[in-house]
Amino acid sequence: MPRLKLTLEYEGTRYVGWQVQPNGPSIQSVLESGLERLLGTRVSVASAGRTDAGVHASGQVACFDAPRVLPLKAYVLGLNGLLPPDVAVVDAVEVAEDFDPRRWSRGKRYRYRVSNRRTRSPLRRMTHWEVFAPLDVEAMRRAATHLVGRHDYSAFRASDCQAKHAVRELRGLSVEGTSGDAVSFVVEGTAFLKHMVRNLAGTLVEVGKGRRPEAWVAEVLASRDRKRAGPTAPPQGLVLEEVFYGEGPPARTPGGTADVEEDEG
């Protein structure tokens, strides 16, 4: 049976998240239902990581073993005709039979979007965190430099995070945009803790509002204390933009992607 890798885009507002849950529709459930209609049999789909309720994606990765051979375009054009309008397949490729979308990942890039104009935005309300106050972009850029590198990010993990340890590596954290309009935090790393990106965003916004000095971010990181960091930013501002892969699975190193058990969202 061929193993297929799908790249997905979705607007997560009406979903309970990626994973199948009893309390509402999930991205996994609608994808598996579409595949069942396309293939005539039920298949199980694995993803590169879980996204939470209300979180979006432009580059989520999922894979499954197909029970029969179909042209790749059937998994894009054909499957998209069976999926709801807020979920789409943007690419489909055949991969090695041992490909694992989570364990083979070399890293991910997330974008967190904030609308910081003084008035509400009907067009941004489902895709941005609206803070209704201009943010100091330069101050947030300087503060973000303290967070890049290999650190213990315990101060930025959710209280119910089940990861064995909080050591992760952020390759980059850039602040893009304009004070008084829209700002994005673009975060790239090897792996992420539960709610890590949203907690980083909430902390940097405290600096952007002038409530905290730039050096406070370094103090929070060193404290390893979640209570000292900023609030968890709401889910609608978060987008999983891309999952990175190399040739074969990565080496199993402490804090690397191979042993990550949690993910942002």
Would you name the residues annotated as active-site residues? 52
- Residue 216 CB contacts under 8 Å (≥ 6 apart), including other chains: 143, 206, 207
The C-alpha atoms of residue 189 and residue 180 are separated, in whole angstroms, by 28
- Asked if 183 and 137 count as a contact pair (C-beta separation under 8 A), the reply is yes
Question: H-helix or E-strand containing 184?
Answer: strand 182-189
> What SS3 state is found at 247?
coil
Distances (CA, A) of 217 to 75, 98, 153: 45, 41, 12
Q: Does 153 appear as a known binding residue?
A: no
> What SS3 state is found at 85?
coil
Distances (CA, A) of 111 to 97, 161, 185, 200, 255: 31, 21, 6, 11, 22
- Calculate the CA 238 to chain-centre distance: 7
Q: How far apart are the first and last CA of the chain?
A: 32
Phi, psi (degrees; rounded to nearest 5) at 38: -75, -40
Q: Which amino acids are annotated as binding site for substrate, given as ranges?
A: 110
